Amino acid sequence: MSENAIRVQVPTDSLEEQVAKDKAAMGSPSAVLRGPGILRTTVLLARVTFREAARRKILWIAATAGALFLVLFWTGLHAMLKSTAHLPVITRRESISMMLMMALYAASMLTSMMAALTSCDTLSGEIASGTIHAIATKPVRRWCLVLGKWTGFAGMLTLYVLLLEGGCMALACFEGRYLLPHIAVVASLLWLQAALLLGVTMACSTTFSALTSGAITLGLYGLAFVGGWIEQFGALRHIKTCVDLGIISSLVMPSDALWRRAAFKIQPPLLGAAGASPFASTLVPSNAMVVYAVLYAVLALVLAAILFERRDL
């Protein structure tokens, strides 16, 4: 035999015996053969995604911006309350409510941007860099990877909603003794808005680059925003085409409809009568639209999972 040839070495144990020994040492045979379960995979990915997201500079910049925003809101609220001390309680409450609504509107925009910008490169980026190869070759279901990543980002966005929107509500309560009506519903609607955009971004991210995915989501968000205005204007002037256009845009992307539903829940009575503005709803999206938005968010996530399951990595 030539010196370069490698002799085939016969293992002392047969492979079956060896595998059986390994399994005995490493855990139950079923776990080794089938990999982690759905829950364990999802939690593993959610944890690592949350930590990965928490390390992004954009998150810290957004958190700093959020904190500055809260300081600004607090200062403005404080000044406003000081200068309106002589006015009747009902007028003061109206002012606080209006200011809080403006703050929440800005906060919801920031949260929506965060949803799109932090998650747009999670799948596309990891496919491009090859990070996903070592993960997807493990005995895990691909859709669990998507669900886990979504859960991680959703956790991060929940904290962001609590910081920003929760902070605004807490400041209004602390400084102005004003407790927002329907607080849980409003917070849920704003969270749903972020979760919806997250699902859409992730679905795009399975197919497009990070930049394209972010641009598509923010583009749809913009479309819904403008559509919302057109709808409000149409309702005010009784122009059916404008109302229809608004409804169509809400069906394409229901993010703005969710904000308008939240705004309706918290708007002071006078503001509603004042006319169309982003802070008020002359035409209130129905409960059906909220259900549609929930389905949309779920379908976006399901679509992300299916696209990721099918694509070549």
Partner 1 sequence: MATLTIDAVGLRKTYGTRTAVRDLTLQVKRGEAFGFLGPNGAGKSTSIKMLLGLVKPTSGRALLLGRPVGDREVRARVGFLPEHFRFYDWLSASELILFHGRLCGLAEDALRRKVPQLLERVGLGTQHAKPIRSFSKGMMQRVGLAQAIVNDPEILFLDEPTSGLDPAGRKLVRDLIREQRERGATVFLNSHLLGEVEQSCDRVAFIQQGNVIGTHEMGAWQADQTVVEIKVARVATSTLERLEQFAQEIRLEGQTLRLRVDGEDRLPEVVRCLVESGVEVYSVVPHRVSLEELFLKTMGPDPGL
Binding site for partner 1 (CB under 8 A): 1-2, 4-6, 8-11, 13-16, 18-19, 22, 25-28, 31-37, 40-41, 44, 48, 51-52, 55, 129-131, 133-141, 310, 312-313
The C-alpha R_g of the chain, in whole angstroms, comes to: 25
What minimum distance in Å lies between the beta carbon of 48 and partner 1? 6
What minimum distance in Å lies between the beta carbon of 91 and partner 1? 52
CA distance 24 to 22: 5
CA distance 258 to 196: 10
- Choice between 26 and 211, CB closer to partner 1: 26
- Choice between 19 and 173, CB closer to partner 1: 19
- Choice between 21 and 182, CB closer to partner 1: 21
- Choice between 43 and 102, CB closer to partner 1: 43
Helix, strand, or coil (residue 277): strand
- Choice between 13 and 244, CB closer to partner 1: 13
Q: What are the structure tokens assigned to 95, written together?
A: 């002012």
Per-residue CA distances from 6 to 1, 3, 9, 12, 14 (Å): 9, 8, 9, 18, 20
HSE, side-chain direction, 13 A CA sphere, residue 271 = 22
What minimum distance in Å lies between the beta carbon of 33 and partner 1? 5
CA distance 2 to 97: 88
What minimum distance in Å lies between the beta carbon of 36 and partner 1? 4
What minimum distance in Å lies between the beta carbon of 273 and partner 1? 53
